[in-house]
Structure 1
Amino acid sequence: MSFLPLLLVSMLLFFVLFFGIGFILNMLLRMSWIMAIIYPIVALAIIQDAKFSDYFRTPGSAFSSLFESITSLALLDILVLLSGLAGAILSGVVIKMLRSKGYRMF
């Protein structure tokens, strides 16, 4: 059970990291859900080691390798990635709420 503190810290770090990045991007670009849209691309870049250009040059092998990488994820990895997604989504919710209450950001 020594992995539990590591899991909790990792989940908290991913949540705070993507909440902060999403909040700043939402504030600067004035698009409330920009990080929620970008997050799957970031998550796939974290999961997959292939270059972005491989998806255009050799799409068959790149996508099959990506599918294998996704299916081989452990539950702990999925939990950490989902906490990052929750942070990205919550940043959009918070920006929407602040704008509806009259706060203008940039």
Structure 2
Amino acid sequence: MISLPQVIISMALFFVLFFGIGFILNMLLKSTWIMSVFYPFVIFAIVDKISTFTYFSNPSLAFSKLITGLTNIHTADILMLGSGWIGAIVAGFVIRNLRRSGYSMF
């Protein structure tokens, strides 16, 4: 069982990590919401615990493992992954506001 301080620290780390990744991807690819759109695929990769190649070689097994993984996640995992998604969304808003303010960023 994970303790409350670990959950809070993990939430902050996921927020900062995916804010940073989202900010850099949005800046380099000149897209505002790229990480917010792809973040569910990151969640799927974390939850399913199988190779991405399995989705192409054995899709029925892969999707059944994904559904099983999604239904078996705990509240702490939902909070951590949710804070990462919020970080990715905030990165999109920050990039959008910076571009409106005149910063071109690559």
Q: TM-score range by the shorter chain?
A: over 0.9
- Once the two structures are superposed, residues 55-90 of structure 1 have per-residue CA deviations (whole angstroms, 9 ceiling, x without a partner) of 111111110111001000001100100000000011
TM-score, normalization: structure 2? 0.95
Partner Cα distance (2:78, 2:29) in 1:
29
Partner Cα distance (1:68, 1:48) in 2:
8
Name the structure 1 match of 2:67. Answer: 67
- Cα-Cα RMSD: 1.0
Structure 2 unaligned regions, length at least 5: none
How many residues are matched?
A: 105
Q: Which amino acid aligns with 2:43?
A: A
Name the structure 1 match of 2:92. Answer: 92
Partner Cα distance (2:65, 2:45) in 1:
12
Matched, 1:47 2:47: yes
Partner Cα distance (1:13, 1:49) in 2:
21
Matched, 1:20 2:20: yes
Name the structure 1 match of 2:35. Answer: 35
Partner Cα distance (2:65, 2:48) in 1:
8
Name the structure 1 match of 2:82. Answer: 82
**In the TM superposition, what is the alpha-carbon distance from 1:41 to its structure 2 partner?**
1.1
Partner Cα distance (2:50, 2:37) in 1:
21
**In the TM superposition, what is the alpha-carbon distance from 1:47 to its structure 2 partner?**
1.0
Question: Equivalent pairs: percent with the same residue?
Answer: 52
